[in-house]
Structure 1
Amino acid sequence: MRTTTVGDVTLLLPDLDPEDLEQVTYLSDGDVRDGLVDGVSWRGEQLAERSVRGCRITGADLSEVSWEAGALYGCEVVRTDLSGATLTGISIERCAFTGSRFTGTRLVDVRLKDVLFDNCRFDYATLNRVSAAGSVAFTDCTFGHGRWSSCRLPGVALRSCDLGHLELESCRLDGADLRGSRLHDLRTPLDNLKGVVLGEDQIPDLARLTVEALNIIVRAEG
């Protein structure tokens, strides 16, 4: 395992050596462990109470996968397509996602602990009742036209992300580090931003959100 720090968040992540992993091509009926999953297509697969542990998944097509219960533990996921997937009731722990796509993905009742999302796309993705049980960080990610509802992500790092047109509803983000992220066109009641950490350069966007939330009318003098 290795540690990575994003802002004030320190994450414990896997450090896998491909030479120690066995090539995996087909999805068996059992759990997947210590596998090298390179360029495979499991598009539309139905998974229930399945565990994937200690795997490096690279350039895979996992779009429209339906995964209910189970766990993703100690995995590196690189340039993998999870567009349109539905992940329900799974636990994701000590995992790193890099350059992967979650366009239109649905995450429901997902538990995150020591998870890093770097340069990933969450356009039109829906997060419902997603919770952080430990350190979680998003860096250089895009969330355009996504929707988060009833999520509990205190202390999460959202650094240098594009939050434009992201909709927040009944979310708890106290202590979340949003410095360097684009807030323009973020759609949220102000109470969803209670206790977040911002940079001085983000104050104008926060002022705009406040004006819109309070229905303040701004007019030129004269």
Structure 2
Amino acid sequence: MSRRPSWLYEGARVLDPAEDREGIVQFIGDWEDPKTRRFIPEAVFLRPEGGGVTGRTSSTRRHRGGPAAARGHPTPTTRSTMAIRTFGHATITLPELDEPGLYLSNVDSLDSSRGTIQDFAYGDADLRSLDLAQTQLVTGRIASMRAKRVELEAVNLHGVEITGSDLGSARWTGSKLTRVHIRDCKLMGAALDSLVLDDVLFEDCKFDFATFEKVRATGPVAFIGCVLTEATFTDCELSDSVFTDCTLRLTEFGTGRYRNTDLRENDLSAIRGVANLAKVRIDPGQQSDLAEALVSELDITVGDD
């Protein structure tokens, strides 16, 4: 059970007594120091007031007004680099990267000897390959990136937006995505294995022939306007996730957990694995879709003779 105090949360304004500075909590979560390989549960990263480079702090203290309040000035209000969007019963918290005071530095590569890239902007790149491992991408934007070969292992994203990019048949394994927005991207034939998703929105993406294996939703997850033709979900935990206005032609839902998964506003007549979708949520009009899908899957012949 977490022993984190109630006043310490992402977006809160706190004091770092070790550095004698104030900052906004940008990220709280498990973190591995890339140099020492020491694992730190619930590490806290602060962004200085007014912008700057995010850094990890070893201790924090609740802000109680600070020098500004002591001089009789009002305490600055907390700023949060987050945006809220709701789809069905899922309310997703996403990064707000255009907030005044947040400065993203342009980087030429997503690879770092330190293992962590923070407050970054990367894009308009044509790559032969993108090969990353044991990397943390914290607060940043990736746009218009195209890569012929993508291998991502233990690449964790927090507060990251990926737009207009072609990741091809990416292989992405053993990673956690938190407060991530992936929009208008191609991951056709991608293999997504053992990913943990928390506050993740896939919007207008193409996942044709992609495989999702042991993908686990620990927080709100939504697929909105995505194409998942002949995509396969195997041993996934997608309870409470949302699929809306998606193309699910020959999409296969294998064994897994889909309790309260919202499949409304989709054509379900050509999906596979209907028997595995126990306790999902559908519209009344979609009952005939599921019946049609089941008849097709079981190769049942319907006739009068």
Task: Give the TM-score taking structure 2 as reference length.
Answer: 0.68
Q: CA separation in 2, counterparts of 1:146 and 1:213?
A: 16
1:109 offset after TM fit, Å? Answer: 0.4
Q: CA separation in 2, counterparts of 1:178 and 1:102?
A: 21
Q: Give the equivalent residue in structure 2 for 1:125.
A: 210
Q: Give the equivalent residue in structure 2 for 1:27.
A: 110
Q: CA separation in 1, counterparts of 2:282 and 2:183?
A: 25
Q: CA separation in 2, counterparts of 1:215 and 1:184?
A: 14
Decide which of 78, 97, 104 is 1:16's aligned counterpart.
97
1:111 offset after TM fit, Å? Answer: 0.4
1:203 offset after TM fit, Å? Answer: 1.7
Residues 132, 196 of structure 1: CA spacing in aligned structure 2 closer, same or farther, 3 A cutoff?
Answer: same
User: Residues 85-144 of structure 1, C-alpha deviation per residue, up to 9 Å, x if partnerless?
Assistant: 100100011011111111011100000000001111100101110010110001000100
Aligned residue pairs, count: 220
User: Residues 29-59 of structure 1, C-alpha deviation per residue, up to 9 Å, x if partnerless?
Assistant: 3322111112123442221111111011111
Decide which of 220, 241, 245 is 1:135's aligned counterpart.
220
Relative to its length, the structure with more strand (as a share) is 2
Name the SS of the counterpart of 1:142 in structure 2.
Answer: coil
Q: Give the equivalent residue in structure 1 for 2:283.
A: 199
Letter in 1 for 2:209: Y
User: For the aligned residues, what is the CA RMSD?
Assistant: 1.7
Percent of aligned pairs with the same amino acid: 32
Kindly report which structure 2 residues correspond to 1:160-175, keeping only aligned pairs within 5 A, or say none. Answer: 160-175=245-260
Letter in 1 for 2:152: W
Structure 1 stretch displaced more, 201-210 or 115-124: 201-210
Runs of 5+ in structure 1 lacking a partner?
none
Does 2:294 align with 1:210? yes
Task: Give the TM-score taking structure 1 as reference length.
Answer: 0.93
Structure 1 stretch displaced more, 98-107 or 204-213: 204-213
Q: CA separation in 2, counterparts of 1:146 and 1:46?
A: 24
Runs of 5+ in structure 2 lacking a partner?
1-81
1:215 offset after TM fit, Å? Answer: 5.5
1:73 offset after TM fit, Å? Answer: 0.8
1:24 offset after TM fit, Å? Answer: 1.3
> Does the 8 Å contact 1:42/1:65 carry over to 2?
no
Q: CA separation in 2, counterparts of 1:212 and 1:38?
A: 44
Decide which of 117, 122, 126 is 1:37's aligned counterpart.
122
Q: CA separation in 2, counterparts of 1:182 and 1:43?
A: 37
1:14 offset after TM fit, Å? Answer: 0.3
Decide which of 106, 127, 138 is 2:191's aligned counterpart.
106
Instruction: Considering Cα pairs closer than 8 Å and 6+ residues apart, tell me whether 1 or 2 has the greater RCO.
Output: 1
Name the SS of the counterpart of 1:54 in structure 2.
Answer: strand
> Does the 8 Å contact 1:71/1:91 carry over to 2?
yes
User: Residues 131-171 of structure 1, C-alpha deviation per residue, up to 9 Å, x if partnerless?
Assistant: 10110001000100111111110010001111111122112
Residues 166, 5 of structure 1: CA spacing in aligned structure 2 closer, same or farther, 3 A cutoff?
Answer: same
1:63 offset after TM fit, Å? Answer: 4.2
Q: CA separation in 2, counterparts of 1:123 and 1:26?
A: 28
Q: Give the equivalent residue in structure 2 for 1:64.
A: 149
Q: CA separation in 2, counterparts of 1:27 and 1:93?
A: 18
Instruction: Please identify the structure whose Cα radius of gyration is greater.
Output: 2
